[in-house]
Structure 1
Amino acid sequence: MGEPVNRIEGPIRVGVVGCGHIVEQYLQTLPRLDDVSFVAAADLDAERAAAVAARVPGARSLSVDELMAAEDVDVVLNLTIPAAHHEIAMRAIRAGKHVYGEKPLTADTASGREVLEAAAAAGVAVGCAPDTVLGAGTQTARRAIDDGLIGRPVAASATMVTAGHERWHPNPDFYYRPGGGPLLDMGPYYVSALITLLGPVVSAVGAASALRDARTIGSGARAGEVIPVVDVDTHVTGVLVHASGALSTLVMSFDAVASRASNIEVHGTDGSLVVPDPNRFDGEVALWRLGGEAWEPLAASAGYLEGGRGIGLQDLAATRGRPRASGELAFHALDVMESLLRAAREGQAVAVGSTCERPEPVPLTDLGAR
């Protein structure tokens, strides 16, 4: 995407659309960001929007239409369910506002492409979670790779195993409908981290399964209710071929119970790295050098320290509308995941049609000291 016409020159004023479960994590971060001001909240449930607005001094509760028209909203923070990401993003773009959304960018690449093209035409910026890739964990690992500590990267592995989000989420239905599942829900963290560490992906092979047709909600007002699993794979495994030649093995599951595997490991000709959970911002990076005798912890050397969900908005402001957690990165990650699912269905390698620039590294930045 080219330079936004509606250039960001200073602190940004944010209006959130969607006041469900995930907004809680953003509320813990946004008030401590120097370049971000949370000014408005909207939701289909007006009471939920009012409750969120009441927790932030100066913020107000609006309808979605009112928020889109508000002159003091520079960026729409899109925290709706994945099925609504496209609609809300397009409404924001038509209103001349920048967009920052939860992952995935949209429910599919066709609608994601439309969002990016519309934003480019309107001269507005698009950012997208996960912004965990901007944290000290992933960025310190990237710095180690860039500094040559593991030699030439040759392979990586990424593993996410859980028995299913219905055990803790009070309204988990969307996880088990098209656009959900472990790959499209949790995969963005892992695939975005792998792209950040190793660069874009050119092809994928894989296999997938869905061995249960129903799930039981484990918490909240609907606890005990049984919901269907509708046309979504709940265990996905595959191999991603990066343009660099490195190979990443991926396992994403809502069917298994636990794993002792590292969330991400990266292996090179001169060493191996253990990379922290890409669903978190910090965590220890460990290096085993060729000829070494133990894992060696690496001090944080890059990324936003003390990060939390929403630092992508700080980065959007700091980069003047060219965020590292960009729409292009999110689109490529979505394309990679769609390609992997297609490869699983077809039983053959599938080329990934898109690419993206490997995001610029994040200098070591202490948000806690801002």
Structure 2
Amino acid sequence: MGEPVSARTGVGIVGCGAISGQYLTTLAASQDLELVAVADLDPARAGAVADAHPGVRALTVPELVAHDDVDVVLNLTIPAAHAEVAHRAVAHGKDVYLEKPLTATTAEARDLLAAASARGVRVGCAPDTVLGTGIQTARRALDEGLVGRPLSATATMMVPGHEHWHPDPDFYYAPGGGPLLDMGPYYLTSLVTLLGPVTSVTGTSSRSRATRTIASGPRRGESVRVTTDTHVTGVLTHGSGALATVVLSFDAVATAASSIEIHGDTGSLIVPDPNRFAGDVRLFRLGGQAWETLEPSGGYRDAGRGCGLADMARTPRTEEHRASGSLAYHVLDVMESLLESARTGAAVTVTSTCARPVAVPLG
């Protein structure tokens, strides 16, 4: 999709936590992106990253967003800080790419996108796993009519909860966390990529217990209060007419259900885990005898976190990149609408929309 905007796009990372390692690997291998500077609330952590990458400077956040060599700010802070850091970048005329979700609320997201539009800069957002060969091969199968007219879908994520592996899981059990806002972006971004934007939702939710017990790390045995719902289920009505049933839960032990399934009038697709870039796509044709595995036919091969940022850098500014702010805003709006429906017991109209992202050719 288009030629590179420039030979190399200078990247400044704000937030050098655990997820930054995966982005650093992608940046090191990219022909489009060049890491210039890093910043973190913990200067020592930023310094360690800079020391490991010759030529990279450890700066404060104000220094980084104002740095002449930084073209795009990669915002890997916690969701509560997304909006503040992104606004700083936009005010200095920088593009910004954020980890999911776009911001903590749709109100914050609207303000951010409006500010970026007024300043003439771009906003991108994870997840970019949808640009890998897994989701994109499924996308091509749908576009080629291998299931006929898509009628319905299911998206399922059921796990025991992050306290079983995360040493500091408090965030996941507070407002702004929970299975929907934590993992929902992967599933809902995939559904929008496959089936198009959502027009209305109906949702319900619950929580199974008041506390969770940390199972690993220095806080092992400590209890964490649960102040948000830990099981969310809902039905999404897509503008295409397809209905998608979603179940995201921290209240299960395991599930045999496929991550995502798409069902049409002439076939059914099993779509791989949307938290990963690759995986087998399987098709069962009407009148067939068995599932068949499709060869990869779309998406970036061997992709890693940050490929959406590279895609943004390569996309001419006159075109919308795939992991766009408008797509991330729509997904955030769908998630907020699901929680509102669960709270009120009524269907909620999703007022935002977005373009179905352009498919990624195999490459």
TM range (shorter): over 0.9
Between the aligned partners of 1:179 and 1:264, the Cα distance in structure 2 is: 24
Written as runs of structure 1 = structure 2, the 5 A alignment for 1:20-31 is 20-31=17-28
Match of 2:15 among 14, 18, 21: 18
Q: TM-score, normalised by structure 1?
A: 0.94
The AA in structure 2 aligned to 1:261 is: A
Q: How far does residue 30 in structure 1 lie from its aligned partner after superposition?
A: 1.7
- Are residues 1:248 and 2:233 paired? no
Q: CA separation of 1:219/1:56 partners in 2, compared to 1, >3 Å: closer, same or farther? A: farther
Q: What is the aligned partner in structure 1 of residue 38 from structure 2?
A: 41
1:271 and 1:287 in contact (8 A); partners too: yes
Q: How far does residue 60 in structure 1 lie from its aligned partner after superposition?
A: 1.7
Between the aligned partners of 1:357 and 1:277, the Cα distance in structure 2 is: 23
SS at match of 1:208: strand
1:119 and 1:126 in contact (8 A); partners too: yes
1:10 and 1:317 in contact (8 A); partners too: no
1:9 and 1:320 in contact (8 A); partners too: no
Count of aligned pairs between the two proteins: 358
Q: How far does residue 35 in structure 1 lie from its aligned partner after superposition?
A: 0.2
1:286 and 1:297 in contact (8 A); partners too: yes
Q: How far does residue 218 in structure 1 lie from its aligned partner after superposition?
A: 2.5
Structure 1 segments of 4+ aligned residues over 3 angstroms from their partners: 7-10
Match of 2:346 among 324, 339, 348: 348
Q: What is the aligned partner in structure 1 of residue 300 from structure 2?
A: 304
- Are residues 1:135 and 2:132 paired? yes
Between the aligned partners of 1:28 and 1:165, the Cα distance in structure 2 is: 25
Written as runs of structure 1 = structure 2, the 5 A alignment for 1:229-248 is 229-230=226-227, 232-248=228-244
- Are residues 1:120 and 2:117 paired? yes
Between the aligned partners of 2:249 and 2:218, the Cα distance in structure 1 is: 26
Between the aligned partners of 2:172 and 2:116, the Cα distance in structure 1 is: 28
Between the aligned partners of 2:50 and 2:210, the Cα distance in structure 1 is: 39
Written as runs of structure 1 = structure 2, the 5 A alignment for 1:185-196 is 185-196=182-193
Match of 2:269 among 270, 273, 284: 273
Q: What is the aligned partner in structure 1 of residue 361 from structure 2?
A: 363
The AA in structure 2 aligned to 1:352 is: V
Q: Give the percent of matched residue pairs that are identical in Structure 1 and Structure 2.
A: 64
Q: What is the aligned partner in structure 2 of residue 4 from structure 1?
A: none
1:81 and 1:174 in contact (8 A); partners too: no
Q: How far does residue 75 in structure 1 lie from its aligned partner after superposition?
A: 0.7
Q: How far does residue 241 in structure 1 lie from its aligned partner after superposition?
A: 0.2
Q: What is the aligned partner in structure 1 of residue 337 from structure 2?
A: 339
The AA in structure 2 aligned to 1:267 is: H
Between the aligned partners of 1:165 and 1:68, the Cα distance in structure 2 is: 33
Runs of at least 5 residues in structure 1 that lack an aligned partner in the other structure: 1-6, 366-370
Q: What is the aligned partner in structure 1 of residue 314 from structure 2?
A: 318
- Are residues 1:219 and 2:216 paired? yes
Between the aligned partners of 2:187 and 2:162, the Cα distance in structure 1 is: 17
Q: How far does residue 307 in structure 1 lie from its aligned partner after superposition?
A: 0.7
Q: TM-score, normalised by structure 2?
A: 0.96
Match of 2:290 among 266, 291, 294: 294
SS at match of 1:54: helix
Root mean square deviation of aligned Cα: 1.2
